Structure 1
Amino acid sequence: MPKVTEEHRAAMRRRIQDAALACIARSGFAGASMSDIVKEAGLSAGAVYVYYSGKGELAVDAGRRVMEGRLRELVEMSEAADPEPPAVVIPRLVARILGEDETAGLALQVWGEAAYDPEFAGLAREIFAEISARFEDYLRAWFARGAGLGEEAAAARAVVLAPAVMALMQGCLVQTTILGGTAAARCRASIAALLDGL
Structure 2
Amino acid sequence: MPKVTQEHRDARRLQIAVAALRCFARSGIRGTTMADIIAESGLSAGAIYGHFASKEDIVRAASREILENRIAEVSELAALSPLPAPGAVLNAILTGVRRDVGDPRILVQVWAEAMTDPVLHATASDTMLAFRALLAEYLTDWFVEHGVPDAEARPRASRYAPLMISLIQGFIVQSAIIPDFDGDGYLEAIEGFALS
Tell me if both proteins adopt one fold, taking TM over 0.5 as the criterion.
yes
CA distance in 1, matches of 2:8, 2:97: 28
Report the secondary structure of 2:28's partner residue: helix
Residue 79 of structure 1 is matched in structure 2 by 79
* 2:67–2:127 Cα contact (<8 Å) kept: no
**Structure 2: gaps spanning 5 or more residues:** none
Distance 1:7 1:101 in 2: 22
Q: Deviations over 1:68-104 (max 9, x none)?
A: 4455442222111211221333245334434556352
Residue 168 of structure 2 is aligned to residue 169 of structure 1: yes
Change (3 A) 1:77 1:108: same
In the other structure, the counterpart of 1:178 is: 177
Structure 2 CA distance for partners of 1:175 and 1:55, relative to 1, 3 Å: same
The 5 A counterparts of 1:94-173 are: 94-98=94-98, 102=102, 104-145=104-145, 147-173=146-172
Task: Please state whether the residue corresponding to 1:77 is helix, strand or coil.
Answer: helix
- Equivalent runs, 1:65-76 vs 2, <5 Å: 65-76=65-76
Of 93-102 and 21-30, deviating more is 93-102
Which residue pairs with 1:196 in the alignment?
194
What is the total number of aligned residue pairs between the two structures? Answer: 196
3-state secondary structure, aligned to 1:142: helix
| Cα distance change, pair 92–18 in 1 and its aligned pair in 2 (3 A) | closer
TM-score between the two structures when normalised by the length of structure 2? 0.83
Instruction: Please give the alpha-carbon distance, in whole angstroms, between the structure 1 residues aligned to 2:37 and 2:131.
Output: 26
User: How does the TM-score come out when normalised to structure 1?
Assistant: 0.82
* Separation in 2, partners of 1:149, 1:29: 45
Structure with greater proportional helix content: 1
C-alpha displacement of 1:164: 1.6
